[in-house]
Every structure is written in structure tokens, then in C-alpha cells.
Structure 1
Amino acid sequence: MTLLMTVLGVVIFAVGLLVSIAWHELGHLSTAKLFGIRVPQYMVGFGPTIWSRRKGETEYGIKAIPMGGYIRMIGMFPPGEDGKVTARSTSPFRSMIEDARSAAYEELRPGDESRLFYTRKPWKRVIVMFAGPFMNLVLAVAIFLTTLMAFGLNTQTTTVATVSDCVIQQSEKRDTCAPGDPAAPAKAAGLKAGDKIVAFNGRPVEDWSALQKDIRATVGPATITVERAGEKIGLTADLIENKVAKTDADGRYVKDQYVTAGFLGFAPAAGYVPQSFGQSVDRMGEMMAAGVQSLIDLPSKVPDLWNAAFNGAERAQDSPMGVVGAARVSGEIFTLDIPAQHQLVFFLNLLAGFNLSLFLFNMLPLLPLDGGHIAGALWESLRRGVARVFRRPDPGPFDVAKLMPVAYVVAGLFICFTLLVMVADVVNPIKIT
């Protein structure tokens, strides 16, 4: 049964990945057709074509390897300086440029001269190239809003999960009491698993973060009001100082760092807490900022990723994860001993996070990514604007094809990084904790 659920999770993720890719390419396709650019192909996946159908002037299809997708627009690059697109040279870098330019004119038909991508105004080209990543952002926002507002955020609550029998310094990293350990204040006060703390020292408690701060700031007698079996019960506890895990500004525990603070002695239960629209927007803003920071930190994570893949080092939980790793996590989700609703939320958040990553990654101003074409169009608009201001001749379209040697280098680096991540995902995968 576990194997069946794992396979089911992987299959569902593959379907979600295909939908995300198709949705991305639909953004490019719809805006390209809106601006009169001819699109011969719309494909989801790479490799051999397993299904296709032609409708109008566009062939729609699915390919065997669901690792991406593309639409082919004619005239992605302007002609060379000689006005031709079939010239060749012995220079390897020049050949890259000319090959890319030639490919951009495949399937050119009479009358297509006015339907070439490069002939569109820069702002239209920006829209066409931005529309793909934007569709991923729209999908991510829609899923996150749905899960956060309809189901909630999986977070620690003010409900008691377990009560400690004794006082143990968290830096000792042990779970069992030793002779001489004093009784935990929560145990002595009569706190029980399932109690919901609604007030601390007479102040109403709204969330775990605020309650945790109040507890850590208190040493000595304190009053605790709990809901138990539908009734409110008042308890009195005598909090003591203890060495506890340090938390950051967001309330997350800092690994292997401890502080001395007030100690009550219970573990909070986790649960899904529905978020308001404002809270959901704030949460998505935090995820966007975290995603940007992850992209910035990506090069610094390569050594640890290499060690995890080939030297048996521990795989960090914030390590980069590829499609293979995400599929494995999806398979694990459906084997967890949690309610089906929680499994669904977990999976939807994984899919939303994947789409958010696609948006951020594709917006990097590097060819062959969408952001590289956007940067080229913006640069063309800028230099044409400068020429108009200073009454200079129009410099014409910016030849993005001249950047193809750089694009090949970037693509090579991306392929190497993708292979490294895939190896790490296979031999030393990230696991759900």
C-alpha cells in the first residue's frame, strides 16, 4: 500500500508539472498570437513527440520528457548585417550566432515578413516573454491563497500536545528524565495534553508566538487559563529558568544556539490555522523574498550539494531540490500518517512553491531564459530612446543573437547544476521531517 501511494504521489506531481509547463507556455502563445506573431509550434516537454495535433497554423503536442516546454516563434532574432540569415563562418562563436539566427527563420512563409517576433515593438516583446513566467506566478498565488485562506497555515498552536515530566536543558539533547531532575512546572501545575491555553497571567492568548514570548519572559508564579472539555480552568505554575533553544525574529528555532529564559515545560500541538487575506498576502511576500534570497545563495550551496551527492555528507534541509527530488517528496506526502486534507494541502503548497521558483528563475536576465530576452528588448528600447533624445540615427533592433555564445555557456552551467541536483536527489534525497 505504501508503494502504491508513493507511486500515486509521483504521478500526481508529474501531472501537476505538465500543467504548470503548459500554463507557462500558454502565456507566451496567447500574447504572441495577440500581437500577430506566427507560432508554428506549442510543445510541452522535450525529446520525441508522443502526441501532436495541428490547429490552424500551430502544431500542439506533448513530448516524452516532461522537463520543460517551448513555443517556436518565427523571427526571434533580426537578420545579420548583410540582411541574410543563411551565412556561415569558420568562427565557432560566430557560427553559434548564425545557427541561432537561421533557426529563428525556419518555416518562413511568404507574407510572414510582417509577423516576425523581432519586428514587434520592444514593449510587446517584453509582454510576450514575461507572460510565461507571469502565468507561473498567477498559478502560485492562486494556490497559496486557496490553501492559506481555505485550509490555513501549518503552525504551532496554543493547544498542548505533550507535557514534560521534568526539567531538561534543551542543549543536552535528551528526552528521558534522569534522577535528580526537578519536575516540570507545567506538570506540577496540572497542565494536560489537549488543554488549550487561552490566557497567560490574565492576558488573552491569540497565537503560539506571543505565548512563547510571554513564557520566556516570566520566571516565578504565573496564572494560566485553559479550555478543557468545554470548560475554562485556572491553573497556577511556578516558572523557572532553563536553557532553551534560541529563536530568530520570525520565531523559528536557531540550530545549536541556546538562551536562558523562563520555562514552563510543554510542547505545543501543530495544526492548520486559517489566515485572513492580509495575512496570506504577507505570507506570500515572505515566500517571495525567501525565494529571491535562495537564488542569490545558489552558488554558495554548490559545494555542500557536491559533498551530499558524492562524499556522503548530510543533505541540508534548505539544499536546492530539482524535479526528481520534488517528485520523491510528493510521493512521501501521500504516505504520511496524516489526514487526507493535510496531504492535499502539503502537495498543493509543493506545487505552488515549484511555480514560484519557475517564475523567479525565468526572470533572471540571462539568455536563454525569458528574462534574457526581456533584458534585450529593454536595452533596445533604451538605446533607441537615447538616440531620439540626441537626434541620432535609429540604431535599429538589438541583435540578441550576438549573445548566443554567452547563452550556451549559461545553458551549460544550468545543465551541469541540474545534473548535480538530480544526483543528490537520487543518492541523498531531502526527506520530510
Structure 2
Amino acid sequence: MTVLLFILGVLFVVLAVGVSIALHEVGHLVPAKLFKVRVTRYMIGFGPTLWSKKKGETEYGIKAIPAGGYVSMIGMYPPNKADGSIRPSSTGMFQTLAESGAGRVKNSKRRSGRFEQLATEARAIAHEEVGPEDENRVFYKLAVWKKIIIMLGGPFMNLLIGTVLMAVLLMGFGTAQYTTTLSVVNACQVKDGETTPDVNNCTPTPAAAAGLKPGDTITVFDGKNVTSWDELSSWIRSSAGKNVSVTVQRNGQPLQLTITPVLSARPVLTAAGTPEKDASGKAVTQEVGFLGVSPTTENVQQPITAVLPAVGSNITQVAGVVFNLPQRLVAVAQAAFSSAPRDPNGPVSVVGVGRVAGQVAAMEDVPLSARFATLLGLMAGLNFALCVFNLIPLLPLDGGHVLGALYEAARRRVAKIFKRKDPGPFDIAKLLPVTYVVASLMLVMGALLIYADIVKPVNLFG
């Protein structure tokens, strides 16, 4: 049964990723059609076509390699500004080859010729389906704001998916929060220098000495009504050495006890709830009041006002990972090819996400609702990651096209201010060498992450 659940978890991720990619491309498709650009293909995946169907002027299909998707719009690149051409010149190609073979041009000129040839070939592909009737339906003739809307449509769709999933997670399933009901009452204190209490030489914790028991709900502490665990914790930490009156609910009946918190070194927690560490990596502690109890947790449904702050927090975390991506990839490579552990907060591939989903689904001792909520959170995070990653201002990512459109707008604005001739659309085809370099790096990054997720997977569950 566990193996079957693991497989179902992986299949859930495969389906969810496919839907996310498909909707990302819909985010490009819909505004392109609204702005009358002729869209020839809407494809999920790359490589050989497994299935396709033409509806109207657009072919919709699924390809063999599930590594993304694309929407083909005619006239992505403008004609050559020098001569208005869109087709490769055979004379130009032969001349470049001859000059290269004879060594009559410098290396810089040969590179320039090759780069220009790449741009010319890209223009040819972009215009090969353009007919006379499509003169005003090409992408490069769109207003800058329309180009930006089309290119931001994909990341926006991922942001929307992530936000909806986050809303379902917070408002429907809720989040785990500490209650004022006790789950554990420790019998013995841990002495200095020990990691576990010495049961043979037991010093009772203040909670055990006062008679607190698991299941007790603390309602009053030192004459103040208790409304939350965080509030109660702060009162306990500031009450060391003080005899405090405590009222608990036990078996439906109120019971008053007297308790004396002791001064104890406790770890300082960060805003994320993790132990704070100093420069040497040692946990930071402080002397505070201590009882020796642990609270129970329960899922509490959140209001709609909690959704956007949670989305913002998730995007900030993802942006931090993306911003430090080169450094984190070095750490992944070191872990993959050595005995160093993987950073659980580092980047992972779809293989890694699938593995985590399989592990979550296979946790038979965890309620089904909790497992499903975790999977929803995982997919929300994945969509936030797709949104942020695609906004990186480098081609072939959507952010690179947005940057090209913004540059076009700035160039035209400057020309207008100085009353110069309109420079026309920015020829983004000239940046194809950058596109190929970035695409190659993305392939290497993907291969590294997949390899690391196979040989040294991230361990989130111990």
C-alpha cells in the first residue's frame, strides 16, 4: 500500500506540473489572441508531437518531452533594419564561409557574421507563416504595453494558481497552531551539560511538581486570562522564581494550582521558529522561565486577509533562492559529488518535488487531509517558483522579452524627446547569442539538479 501511495503522490505532481505549464502558456495565448496576433501553435512539451488538433488558425498539441511548453506567434522578430529582409541571403552565407575559410577577416568580424546569421535565420522562422493578410497581426508591431502584457501573462497565471491554492490551503484546511492544551508534561529537568534528563536522579520539572497533566488546558496564569500559547509562553519566560497561580480545565472541571517556573537556558528562536545560531554555528540561548510542558496543535482556518501576506512571504523566500541561485547550485554540486548534505531549503528539480510528494502521500500514519494539504502547499510553492524564475530578465525567459520591450519603449521615448526619427521595434533577435548561452546554462542546471535529486535527495522528513 505504501508503494502505491508513493506512486500516486508522484503522479499527482506530474499532473499538477503539466496543468501549471499548460495554464502558464494559456496566460500568453489569451492576451495574444485578444490583441489579434496570429498564434499558430500552442504546445505542451518539446520534441516530437504526440498529439495535436488544429482549431481555427491555431494548432494545439502535446509533445514528447515534458520540459515546458510554448506559444508560437508570427512575426516575433522585426525585419532586418538595414535592408528590410527576413530571409537568409545565400550570397551572404557563401561570402561569410569564403572569408572564414580564407582567413581574410578578423575573429571579431567572423563572430559578428555568425551572430547576424543566427538573427537572420530566426527572422526567417518568425516570418515563414506570415502572409499578406497578416501585415498587422505580427507580434513585433504591437504597442510595447501589449507586448509586456502578453509576456507577463504566463508568470501571472502561475502567480494566480499559487494564490488560489494558498487560499484553499489557509481558508479550507487551516494552519497548524499551538493551543493552550498540554500534550506533554516532562517529569524531570535536564541538568546543565546533559541532553536528556537523568531519571535515576530526577529533579521534577515545575509542571510535574505542581501536578499538571497532559490534556490540561491552561485558562488563567497569574490572574490573567490565557488566550494563546504565544501569550502564555511569554508570561512563563518572565516569571522565573515566582510563585504563580494557574487555573486549568481538567475533564471539564476547573482546577487551581500553584507553580514556580525555574530559570533555564533556552534556545533563542528566529521569526521563522528555528533556533538562532551565532557566527560559529552554535545555538544562541538565554536564561528564561521554564515549566517543562509542550502544547498540542490544531488546524485553525485562516481569514481571507491572511492569504496575500502568505503569498508575499512565499514569493520572498523563492526570490531569495533565485537571487542566490549560482551560490546554491555550487552547494548542490558539492553535495552531489561529496558526502556533504543537501540544503533542505535549496533548489530542487521536478524529480525532487515528485520524490517529496511521494513521501508525503505514503505517510499512512498522517491523516489524509493533512497529506493533501501538504501536497497543495507544495504545488503552490512550485507555481510561485515558476512565476519568479520566469521573470528573470534574461532571454529566453519571459522577463527577457519584457526587458526588451521596456528598452524599446525607452529608446522610442528618447528619440521623441530629442525629435529624432522613430527607431522602430527593438530587434530582439540580435540577442540570440545570449539566449543560447542562457538556455545552455538552464539545461546544465536542470541536469545537475536531477542528478543531485537522484543520488543525494533532499531529506525533509528525517
What interval of TM-score do these two structures reach, taking the shorter chain for normalisation? Answer: over 0.9
Q: Is 1:287 matched up with 2:309?
A: no
CA distance change for structure 1 residues 278 and 392 in 2, over 3 Å: closer, same or farther?
Answer: same
Q: Is 1:195 matched up with 2:207?
A: no
Q: Determine the C-alpha separation between the residues in 2 that align with 1:119 and 1:190.
A: 79
CA distance change for structure 1 residues 98 and 233 in 2, over 3 Å: closer, same or farther?
Answer: farther
Paired residues, number: 432
Q: Determine the C-alpha separation between the residues in 2 that align with 1:205 and 1:109.
A: 74
Q: Determine the C-alpha separation between the residues in 2 that align with 1:102 and 1:217.
A: 74
**Aligned letter for 1:85?**
I
Q: Determine the C-alpha separation between the residues in 1 that align with 2:48 and 2:249.
A: 62
Please give the per-residue CA displacement for 1:15-53, whole angstroms capped at 9, x wherever unaligned. Answer: 111111111111100100000011111111222222211
CA distance change for structure 1 residues 424 and 198 in 2, over 3 Å: closer, same or farther?
Answer: farther
Q: Is 1:357 matched up with 2:385?
A: yes
Q: Determine the C-alpha separation between the residues in 1 that align with 2:49 and 2:378.
A: 28
Q: Which residue does 2:59 correspond to in 1?
A: 59
Q: Determine the C-alpha separation between the residues in 2 that align with 1:46 and 1:360.
A: 22
Q: Determine the C-alpha separation between the residues in 2 that align with 1:207 and 1:31.
A: 48
Q: Determine the C-alpha separation between the residues in 2 that align with 1:18 and 1:171.
A: 53
**Aligned letter for 1:209?**
D
Q: Determine the C-alpha separation between the residues in 2 that align with 1:425 and 1:34.
A: 41
**Aligned letter for 2:244?**
A
Q: Is 1:227 matched up with 2:249?
A: yes
Q: Which residue does 1:296 correspond to in 2?
A: 323
Kept in 1, the 8 Å contact 2:163–2:307? The answer is no
Q: Determine the C-alpha separation between the residues in 1 that align with 2:262 and 2:416.
A: 74
Kept in 2, the 8 Å contact 1:197–1:224? The answer is yes
**Aligned letter for 1:214?**
W
Q: Is 1:180 matched up with 2:207?
A: no
CA distance change for structure 1 residues 392 and 274 in 2, over 3 Å: closer, same or farther?
Answer: same
Higher mean Cα deviation, 208-217 or 413-422?
208-217
Q: Which residue does 2:24 correspond to in 1?
A: 24
- Alpha-carbon shift at residue 379 of structure 1 (Å): 1.3
**Aligned letter for 1:360?**
V
Please give the per-residue CA displacement for 1:336-395, whole angstroms capped at 9, x wherever unaligned. Answer: 121111111101110011001111111111111001101111111112122212211111
Kept in 1, the 8 Å contact 2:119–2:430? The answer is yes
> TM-score, structure 1 length as denominator?
0.94
Kept in 1, the 8 Å contact 2:6–2:359? The answer is yes
Q: Is 1:159 matched up with 2:181?
A: yes
Higher mean Cα deviation, 316-325 or 255-264?
255-264
CA distance change for structure 1 residues 393 and 423 in 2, over 3 Å: closer, same or farther?
Answer: same
Task: Show the 5 A alignment for 1:61-80.
Answer: 61-80=61-80
Task: Show the 5 A alignment for 1:129-278.
Answer: 129-168=151-190, 172=194, 174-220=195-241, 221-254=243-276, 256-259=282-285, 260-278=287-305
Q: Determine the C-alpha separation between the residues in 2 that align with 1:181 and 1:287.
A: 44
Kept in 2, the 8 Å contact 1:171–1:244? The answer is no
Kept in 2, the 8 Å contact 1:162–1:267? The answer is yes
Q: Is 1:320 matched up with 2:347?
A: yes
Q: Determine the C-alpha separation between the residues in 1 that align with 2:12 and 2:429.
A: 38
Q: Which residue does 1:97 correspond to in 2?
A: 119
- Alpha-carbon shift at residue 250 of structure 1 (Å): 4.3
Kept in 2, the 8 Å contact 1:243–1:258? The answer is no
Please give the per-residue CA displacement for 1:65-111, whole angstroms capped at 9, x wherever unaligned. Answer: 32211111111111112211222654333333233322222322331
Q: Which residue does 1:84 correspond to in 2?
A: 85
CA distance change for structure 1 residues 224 and 398 in 2, over 3 Å: closer, same or farther?
Answer: farther
Please give the per-residue CA displacement for 1:141-190, whole angstroms capped at 9, x wherever unaligned. Answer: 11101210121113433332222222226985x34535434211122222
The alignment's C-alpha RMSD in Å is 2.0
Secondary structure in structure 2 of the residue aligned to 1:254: coil
Q: Is 1:367 matched up with 2:395?
A: yes
Kept in 1, the 8 Å contact 2:220–2:248? The answer is yes
Please give the per-residue CA displacement for 1:99-132, whole angstroms capped at 9, x wherever unaligned. Answer: 3322222322331221111110000000000111
Q: Determine the C-alpha separation between the residues in 1 that align with 2:140 and 2:47.
A: 27
Secondary structure in structure 2 of the residue aligned to 1:26: helix
Q: Which residue does 2:102 correspond to in 1?
A: none
Q: Determine the C-alpha separation between the residues in 2 that align with 1:296 and 1:194.
A: 46
- Alpha-carbon shift at residue 204 of structure 1 (Å): 3.2
CA distance change for structure 1 residues 96 and 183 in 2, over 3 Å: closer, same or farther?
Answer: farther
Q: Determine the C-alpha separation between the residues in 1 that align with 2:153 and 2:44.
A: 16
Q: Determine the C-alpha separation between the residues in 2 that align with 1:215 and 1:316.
A: 34
CA distance change for structure 1 residues 170 and 388 in 2, over 3 Å: closer, same or farther?
Answer: farther
Task: Show the 5 A alignment for 1:378-389.
Answer: 378-389=406-417
Secondary structure in structure 1 of the residue aligned to 2:297: strand
Q: Determine the C-alpha separation between the residues in 2 that align with 1:369 and 1:169.
A: 57
Q: Determine the C-alpha separation between the residues in 1 that align with 2:64 and 2:178.
A: 43
Q: Determine the C-alpha separation between the residues in 2 that align with 1:137 and 1:154.
A: 24
- Alpha-carbon shift at residue 192 of structure 1 (Å): 2.2
> TM-score, structure 2 length as denominator?
0.88
Higher mean Cα deviation, 422-431 or 34-43?
422-431
Q: Determine the C-alpha separation between the residues in 2 that align with 1:377 and 1:429.
A: 40
Q: Determine the C-alpha separation between the residues in 1 that align with 2:409 and 2:296.
A: 56
Kept in 1, the 8 Å contact 2:275–2:284? The answer is no
Which ranges of structure 2 fall in alignment gaps of 5 or more residues?
97-112
Q: Determine the C-alpha separation between the residues in 2 that align with 1:339 and 1:11.
A: 20
Q: Determine the C-alpha separation between the residues in 1 that align with 2:245 and 2:445.
A: 55
Secondary structure in structure 2 of the residue aligned to 1:418: helix
Secondary structure in structure 1 of the residue aligned to 2:324: helix
Q: Determine the C-alpha separation between the residues in 2 that align with 1:393 and 1:223.
A: 83
Kept in 2, the 8 Å contact 1:242–1:263? The answer is yes
CA distance change for structure 1 residues 389 and 233 in 2, over 3 Å: closer, same or farther?
Answer: farther
Higher mean Cα deviation, 154-163 or 40-49?
154-163
